[in-house]
Amino acid sequence: MLNANCIDPWTFSQDKQTAVWQFVLNDLDPRVMEDGIFANSQNIVQAAFLGGINALGQHFIDVHLTATLQLVCQRCLKTMNFALDNTVKTLIFTDETQANQADCTVEDADVLVVVGNSICVAEWVEDQLLTALPFSPMHAQCDTAVVLDNQTVNPFSVLKGLHK
């Protein structure tokens, strides 16, 4: 796990603080790299945090992630570029009762989170990064044939023998 800064979410939002951190994918928690979706573990993700209090007096922290990532196309298994530009608006609460009550009245938040006095920035970025990625990244157009041992294999050729 990356030793990144932890912030006090209440002070951060109360003081309307901003901060920017950069993370190399390879330095994040190993679960980020587990599924093999990333083609380049050295890609850098920039995370901009903005704290504040909305018109209803609710504390929030917005997280804006930006990066150009090399992902593995799930169709052709070649590298593809993915432009990540994602903002998540998060309202923070001290307990679930407050969060549940706010759930019915809040329209401008993507996420409601119950937090204590400290949030690890790296863990928050890891979670936001994983949820911002496409479920199955694919080129808009790509060749579906896969090359194995210098031979082109049609993935549907096995079905040819099943047809009577």
Please state the domain extents for the chain: 6-160
* Bridge partner residues of 62 (DSSP): 50, 89
Question: How high is the pLDDT of residue 3?
Answer: 42
User: What pLDDT, on the 0 to 100 scale, is given for residue 2?
Assistant: 40
For residue 1, what pLDDT is reported?
A: 38
Q: What is the pLDDT of residue 136?
A: 82
- pTM of the complete model: 0.77
State which residues of the chain have pLDDT below 70: 1-4, 103-108, 143-153, 155, 158, 161, 163-164
Q: How far is CA 129 from CA 11, 116, 118, 138, 141, in A?
A: 24, 22, 20, 18, 25
Supply the pLDDT for residue 31. Answer: 79
